[in-house]
Amino acid sequence: MAKPVFTEEAASPEYAAQLDAQDPLAAFRDKFIIPSKANIASKKLAKPGLSSEPCIYFCGNSLGIQSKATVNFVEAQLDTWASIGVGGHFTDLEDSPLKQWQLLSEQAAASMSKIVGAKPDEVAAMGTLTTNLHLLLASFYKPTATKHKIILDWKAFPSDHYAIESQIAWHNLDPKQSMVLIGPEEGEYEISTERILSLIDENADKAALLLLPGIQYYTGQFFDIKKITHYAHSRNLVVGWDLAHAYGNLELKLHEWNVDFAVWCTYKYGNAGPGAMGGLFVHEKHGQVDYAEGEDCPKFRHRLTGWYGGDRSVRFKMDNKFKPIPGAGGFQISNPSAIDLAALCAALSVFDGTSMAELRHKSVRLTAYLEYLLLKDYDEESRPFRIITPKNHEARGAQLSLLLKPGLLQNVSQKLQEAGIICDKREPDVVRVAPVPLYNTFSEVWTFVQIFKKALEV
């Protein structure tokens, strides 16, 4: 998709309203509960202000808003529990949007697989992002005396950094010697693909694994997963991706790109709720189960095992003979929370009504429109902020990170909040703005820019 180009007339509120009127995904906004300005300014617990003036919510890169389906799905789960108790594990109820509890994780995985470009049996709904990362590193990080390094992003989300550091220490290795951080050129924020490939070359002889974010949380840069994965494989590295900011944000093709493993959370662009159940991907080549030596001697990739990774046909035999589910399901550990799965399935039901290709098409236009309006009327010298997200629309998702001149952040944040605009700030000087195609509008982008520019006038 070519990057949208806007002319002078695009700077008017009428033009923004016209873009909204032409938006084929406009109806999806009504599937969500937009927090009201009154509620976000209140300190009291309140019912959603469905008739109140909505805020402008550009913080889906931290926490997506609640879909209207969530209440129905969670109530269905609670009603199942209340009405048939333990039978909910094995009974499909008519008029319920949810499968029996034993199949609920598979229901979620089937929907998530379409979002990440995978086969359904390559995806599992379970745990949370960092827990899943630990579980997969336990399976995929196999250091030797000569190949023990993990290559990661210089500004990896702290939880990823901690997980990698602790996994290295678990193997009695020194994180200072076994962690290789990829950073940008001096004074820059974007990390070129060529720089990443060069660093892979420099460390290939001693590196065991590459773990990068699909989208860098601070800058919003989208890494070239396909090219980087292919090159790292050619240098004999295992490749994993943290898709926390990529899941539900842009088109992914994990199976086609031959990614070894990936993890993600579902509460950002996925809208499944704070701390919601996460997901993981394991390529089918790593999920095979070989019974050549008999049913009692399955051969499979080593992982930390638990009873819910075992085939349902023998799960309740209690004979301590682990028969793993082929694919990512075999990496499951424990009985997953049905309430969490209900909320996740509710969020996924919205995604089931469209496609990532359609969402990405709108997202590119929304973000390009935001960029156009932000840069309009400024020259390079006078502009009091810098967009540190890549200019290339193919190298970014829904987020633009705005690096303000020192001393502006607190005033800008306060003015935005007073105007009923929710964005994410990162000390000391960055505002992250993320218009989400499922529920944000071009008119909201226009309004935000007017208020943001006014707030810069100190």
Which residues carry a binding-site annotation? 129-130, 157-160, 242, 245, 267, 307, 335
* Residues in contact with 156: Cβ distance below 8 Å, sequence separation at least 6, in sequence order: 164, 181, 213, 242
CA distance 396 to 433: 12
Strand bridging mode 123-125 / 279-282: antiparallel
Cis peptide, bond prior to residue 428, ω within 30 of zero:
yes
**d(C-alpha 244, C-alpha 252), whole Å:** 13
- The amino acid present at 53, given as its one-letter code, is E
d(CA 180, CA 429): 27
Phi, psi of 269 (to 5 degrees): -70, -15
Residues sharing a CB contact under 8 Å with residue 63, sequence separation 6 or more, in sequence order = 267, 268, 274
Fill in the DSSP letter of residue 337. Answer: -
Is residue 391 within 8 Å of residue 373, measured between CB atoms? no
Distance, in Å, from the CA atom of 389 to the CA atom of 399, rounded to the nearest integer, reads 8
- Give me 75's structure tokens: 């109530």
Binding-site residues for pyridoxal 5'-phosphate sit at: 129-130, 157-160, 242, 245, 267, 307, 335
